[in-house]
Every structure is written in C-alpha cells, then in structure tokens.
Structure 1
Amino acid sequence: MHLKRLFDVVVVTLAAVVWLPAVLAGALLILVTAGRPVFYRSNRLVDSGEPTKVVKFRTMVKNADKLVNRDTVPVTNTRFLNIAPDSPLYTKAGRFLERCGLTEIPQLFHVVTGKMSIVGNRPLPTNVMNALLEEYPYAGDRFLAPAGLTGPAQLVGRDALSDSERLRIEGAYCHAVIDGYRFRLDFTILLATVLIVARVKDSMSYAEVMDMIAHASGSRGNVAVMEESHSAIGDNTEVA
C-alpha cells in the first residue's frame, strides 16, 4: 500500500490549489443558501476495521438521514442505499454540488491524514454493509483496500449497476491493488472520473470498467478467475 499512499500524497498536494478553494466555495454556497451545518458527518466503514467519522458537504435537508436510511427504507431493487438525483431531500445547493461531482471533496482532508485514499470504493454505513453481506458473501472484498472519494463503480454510475455488478467491480479493484499495485490503475480511474464529470467522456459500461481494471493493473487473468468464483458462491438473486 506504500505506492498507493505515495500516489495520494502527490496528487492531493499538487491539486491543493484547486480543491482547497473548491471546499471553501462549496461551504460558502451551502452556508448562504441552506444555512448550517455546512458539513454532514456520519459513521462509515472505510476499511475492514471499525466505522469512523466521515465528512462531506451537506447536500440534503437537515433531517434527511432520519427520513431515509437503510433502517427506514425497505430493500427493493438494491441493498445499496441510492437516493434518486431528483429527490426533494436535496437542497438547491446540494443538487448543484452533486451535479458538479463535488459532494465528497471535503474528504480530501481524510486523504491527507491517511484515513482514506483518493481512489477506492465509497465508504458505507454498517447497516448497508450488513445488508449486502446477507446476500453476497464476497461483499467484504470491497474493503480490502481503503475507501476513496471516487472509484471504478462511479465510472458506470450507481443506478446503472446491479448490486452484484457493483460488488464485482469493487472487489476486482481491491484485488488489483493488493496483488501488485501500479500508479496507472488509480491514475486511469481518476482521469476517467474527471472527464465523465466534466461531460467530456460518456459513462462506461460494466464490461469496460472491468477491462480497464485488468488492463491498468496487468491482472486480466486474476479478474477473470475472481468473477468466476463470485458467480459460484453467490448471486442467488438480483433483488432481495
């Protein structure tokens, strides 16, 4: 993981001239249009250990976490908790920050401290993770590497992936990290994220992202074997 940490330190340092003003501007926008609190803090899993406090911009109304969470919303088509982009829970400022892909940018402070990585699978509440493990025994693979601000699943879009597809992408990424990390892996995902958010590049398909991970990490064989093993031990249904 030392090379991955080096990548994080270099990128977060070089990009500070951009992301620090972005954090200040986003905070001011929320403060002026929606009031306090500017940031939303919650306990999330960022690795295979205990939950930790994670911060991001508050993009929803103040009591949104009480109204919509995995304990109050029945599991229907996904065990991940994906709030629709047009949900009335979003504030105007929050909707703008979501559209610009800036919601999680305050988590770069977590990258600075080493709690998170720039590229990795998104942090999850414990109850969402438990719901996933009920159906997919390999769901824990998504935390073999540290959580990040953006990851391979975001290149497709959370609403375009089934739970099993998202977990396979996330597991493939983590295995690529621990089996022989290369700078090219995170650089490729980060660059694609920026281009997609800027609407210069279209979102990718599940197959394209899996191929990107395999190509950037040089682990084509390992990714194929992992997909086969996941198919054999889980995925009884797509809906739970």
Structure 2
Amino acid sequence: MHIKRVFDVVVVSLAAVVWLPAVAGGALLVLLTSGRPVFYRSNRLVGSGDPTKVVKFRTMVKNADRLVNRDTVPVTNTRFLNIAPDSPLYTRAGRLLERCGLTEIPQLVHVLSGKMTIVGNRPLPTNVMNALLDEYSYAGDRFLTAAGLTGPAQLVGRDALTDSERLRIEGAYCHAVLDGYRLRLDFSILLRTVLIVAHLKPSLSYTEVMDLIARNSGSRSVVALDEHASPRAADNTEVA
C-alpha cells in the first residue's frame, strides 16, 4: 500500500499545473452562473470507518440533496442512486462540469491529505451503502480500500452497469490491491479514465474491466470473485 500512496502524491503533485487552474476556473464558473455555495460538501463513506465530509463542485440546484436522496427516491432497478444527466436538478454550469469530468476534481485535496486515493471506488452516502448491503452481502468489499477520485466502474459508466456488476468490479479492484497490488493497475485505470473523458477511447464493458483488473494485478481472488457468481443472475433476485 505504500507504493500506492507514493503514486497518489507524485501524480497529484505533477498534475497540479493542470488541476489547480481547473479548480479555480470551475469555481469561478459556478459562482458567476449559479452563485454560492461554489462547493458541495456532504458526509460520505470513504472507507470502512465512519462517514467524513467530502467536497466537490456544486453542480445542482441548492436544495437537490433534500429532494433526491436514497431516503426520498424509491428503489426500483438499482440501489445506487444514479441521477440522470438530463435531470432538471443540474445547473447549466453543472452540466458542463459533468460533461468535462471535472465535478470531483476538488477531491484531490482529500487525496493529498490521505483521506482518499486517486484510483478507488467512489465515496457513498451511508443510506446508499445500507441499501446495497440489504441486498448484496458482498457490498462491503468495495470499501476494503480507500475511496477514489475515479475507479474501475467509471471505465464502463454507472448507467451501463447493474448493481451486482458494479459491486463485483469494485470488490475485484479492492482484492487486487490488497492481495497483490501492482502500480500498473492504477496507472491503467487512470490513463483509460482520461482517454474516455477526452473522448479518445470508448468505454469498456463489464468483462473488459474485470479482465483489465486481472491482467494488471497479482490477485487470484479477482478471477474467483467473477467465477463464483453471475452478476446477471444475482440481479434476478433483487428486491425493489
């Protein structure tokens, strides 16, 4: 895990010439088009411990978190709370930041502090995590390692994955980090994320991401996770 921390610090430091102006520009855009607050802070799980404050750009109307959350929106086909890109909750500045993949850039301060990592599974509200645990006993595996700015599930896209598929990808990543971490795993995910956001490469499929994790890690448990249960079969037992 030490080498993963070194990777985080080196990448964030070298990329400061890019991300610091991006944070300043994004903050100015939000301020001028939708006012304060510029940043949205919320309690999120970033690991196996208690929730902590996580910051990102405010991309929605000011009361969006009270209107749409896992307690107010009934569970239908997914327990992850995925808000559609065309939702009226997004501001014009928010849509632009989302499209450019800049919404979570402020979370690089959490990476520098050691609270988060560059590559890992996304932070989650406690009520979303509880909803997942109610249905999937292995959901907790996604927080065996620290939450990240981007992760393997983002290579597919949250709307293209079922809950079971996403959890298996996220669990496979954590087991790969714990059981045989190789620097090229995070490098491969980060590079592919940048290429996808820049529209230079297409998104991957569930199978392709699982294969990428297996090829770039020393963990045999990655293969075991995918073989012991079919994500599509698991979805058939989901309770709405």
Q: TM-score, normalised by structure 2?
A: 0.96
Q: Please tell me the root mean square deviation across aligned C-alpha atoms, in Å.
A: 1.5
User: Given that residues 179 and 218 in structure 2 are in contact (C-alpha distance below 8 angstroms), is that contact kept between their aligned partners in structure 1?
Assistant: no
What residue number does 1:133 align with? 133
Which amino acid in structure 2 is aligned with residue 167 of structure 1? Answer: L
Hey, what's the Cα distance between the residues in 1 that align with 2:226 and 2:132?
Answer: 17
Which amino acid in structure 1 is aligned with residue 155 of structure 2? Answer: L
Hey, what's the Cα distance between the residues in 2 that align with 1:141 and 1:181?
Answer: 16
Could you give the per-residue CA deviations for residues 168-204 of structure 1, whole angstroms, max 9, x where no partner exists? Answer: 0000000000002111000000000000000000010
Hey, what's the Cα distance between the residues in 1 that align with 2:96 and 2:237?
Answer: 35
**1:224 correspondence with 2:223:** yes
Task: Map 1:76-87 to 2 at 5 A.
Answer: 76-87=76-87
What residue number does 1:116 align with? 116
Could you give the per-residue CA deviations for residues 142-168 of structure 1, whole angstroms, max 9, x where no partner exists? Answer: 000100010000000000000000000
Cα deviation for residue 138 of structure 1 reads 0.3
Which residues of structure 1 form unaligned runs of 5+?
A: none
Q: Percent identity?
A: 82
**1:49 correspondence with 2:49:** yes
What residue number does 1:7 align with? 7
User: Given that residues 182 and 216 in structure 2 are in contact (C-alpha distance below 8 angstroms), is that contact kept between their aligned partners in structure 1?
Assistant: yes
Hey, what's the Cα distance between the residues in 2 that align with 1:230 and 1:149?
Answer: 28
Hey, what's the Cα distance between the residues in 2 that align with 1:137 and 1:231?
Answer: 14
Could you give the per-residue CA deviations for residues 78-106 of structure 1, whole angstroms, max 9, x where no partner exists? Answer: 00000000000000000000000000000
User: Given that residues 162 and 238 in structure 1 are in contact (C-alpha distance below 8 angstroms), is that contact kept between their aligned partners in structure 2?
Assistant: no
**1:74 correspondence with 2:74:** yes
Give the 3-state SS of the residue equivalent to 2:180 in structure 1. coil
Could you list the runs of 4 or more consecutive aligned residues of structure 1 that deviate by over 4 angstroms after TM superposition? none
Task: Map 1:94-109 to 2 at 5 A.
Answer: 94-109=94-109
Give the 3-state SS of the residue equivalent to 1:149 in structure 2. strand
What residue number does 2:208 align with? 208
User: Given that residues 135 and 238 in structure 2 are in contact (C-alpha distance below 8 angstroms), is that contact kept between their aligned partners in structure 1?
Assistant: no
Cα deviation for residue 228 of structure 1 reads 3.2
Q: TM-score, normalised by structure 1?
A: 0.96
Give the 3-state SS of the residue equivalent to 1:118 in structure 2. strand
Which residues of structure 2 form unaligned runs of 5+?
A: none
User: Given that residues 155 and 204 in structure 1 are in contact (C-alpha distance below 8 angstroms), is that contact kept between their aligned partners in structure 2?
Assistant: yes
